[in-house]
Amino acid sequence: MSKRAFRRHHLRRVKERAKEVFYWCSDPNRTAKWANNMAMCSSACCGNPRRWFKGNEKITRAEQKSDLGFREQT
């Protein structure tokens, strides 16, 4: 299967999934747009912590773990 055919296959599959998830929307163009980004919300618990939190809480868990490892080495 060529790369283009593979991408088309996945796009068609994701569009079908968007139709199932966004069943309440009857507009097929809207579901095609939502196929590219199926996130239902962008709240603080689902979104990027840098956008929602301030100070030390703004740092992600991976960055906190990395900083802790660096401080332990020095």
End-to-end CA distance of the chain: 52
Per-residue model confidence as pLDDT tens digits over 2-55: 999 999 999 889 888 888 877 776 676 777 777 777 776 666 676 677 777 777
Is the dihedral angle over the CA atoms 32, 34, 35, 36 positive or is it negative?
positive
Domain total in the chain = 2
Residue 67 CA from chain centroid, whole number:
25
pLDDT at 26: 67
CB 14 within 8 A of CB 35: yes
Q: Give the three-state DSSP class for 53.
A: coil
Residue 57 pLDDT greater than 80, yes or no: no
Say whether pLDDT at 62 is over 90: no
Same domain? 34 vs 45: no
Quote the domain boundaries for residue 46: 41-74
pLDDT of residue 5: 95
Q: What is the pTM of this model?
A: 0.47
Same-domain check for residues 1 and 31 = yes
